[in-house]
Chain A
Amino acid sequence: MLKVVGILLIILASTLIGTYFVKRHLYYLEDLQALLKGLTMLESEIHYAKSPLPIALEQIGIRLETNVRLFFIETAQELQKKSGKSIFIIWKETIEKNMPYTYLTKEEQKLLDSFGKTLGYLDREMQIKNIALIKSSLNEQIQQAFSYKNQQATLYQRLGILGGLLLIIILL
């Protein structure tokens, strides 16, 4: 009896581990999409509404779903303080601070950092082009993440279950 319970527990645990990896990847994909959505909104805020960044970023932050919103909301709050820090520093610090709350990777952090260097500076045309640049890189990431999801998701799930079974066989 005890053995059966043990076997069931092992299978359950290993399946969960497999599912965790799949889910994690799904969340990562969600974060990527949210970021892309945010940047698209920023693009139109700058292009059509000409809203200043503190207002634009806050508005966008409120409308986003995942924790990516923290990047936008907290930058907006920091900007409104007018502490005298440059926007590049503020953006970089906010990203660094909130990175652990998202599923994004070092790669996206690098993209966002270099994007911050030109944020707000000079004319709208330059802003739009910079946003277009980071958006195209993000789109690539999303494509990759999608194909990865299709190929690997089922693999991880099966690997989980099979790994569990393997363990049981060895233990028996």
Chain B
Amino acid sequence: MGIISSSIARKVAMALSGLFLVFFLGQHFTINLMSVFSPDTFNETSHFMGTNPIVQFLLQPVLIFGVVFHFIMGFILEIRNRNARAVKYASYKGSANASWASRNMIISGLVILAFLGLHFYDFWAPELNVKYFKGDMSGLIDPDNVNSGFRYYEELVHKFESPIRVGIYVVAFLLLAVHLWHGFASSFQSVGFNNKYSVALTKFAKVYAIVIPAGFIFIALYLHLNQLPH
């Protein structure tokens, strides 16, 4: 952590890793959205992402590093920040001067972390298991049957059968929206970007913070409702 020993360097690192995750989120959303309009495109894209060596062995580790870094740094900062006020106020009116979202990034962050655990358990772990432990890189529902079709869409739909899981997803995405609401726009401030474009950029970030999580929620609900008995 030598290079990020100063408070500002840490802050910038938080912002940059956050921005990277925001970008990833957009890309993830775009692919997921295909599942609503065209299961075939979704399958093909998923297969490409899941088997392309650049994605798998270069981008994926970077992503994992980004996620882990963002979380660990978040925790470190939270602990340091708590220590900066050893004796707490008897009366502290945080709502008077700052939004709930900005004051509770650790809470929304922890919820997202918990969700990520579930998400990895749902998708990433089975994926690793199939591809690297069982050695099945075909992406087919039945690896022995070339005509059985890609398994990705089927698996996706299957996961959204349970209303409880869908509920958890919805809550997690709401908290993600809260996290992004403060985090995205504030990352520009952290990297020192504050000029005549800031107002527009902030607006964009706020819209993004609502639209992307809302989109994820929409996909989850869509897939869930679509498979209910008519």
Our verdict on whether A and B bind, yes or no, reads no
What residues make up the interface of B, taking CB atoms closer than 8 Å to A?
none
Residues of A at under 8 Å CB distance from B? none
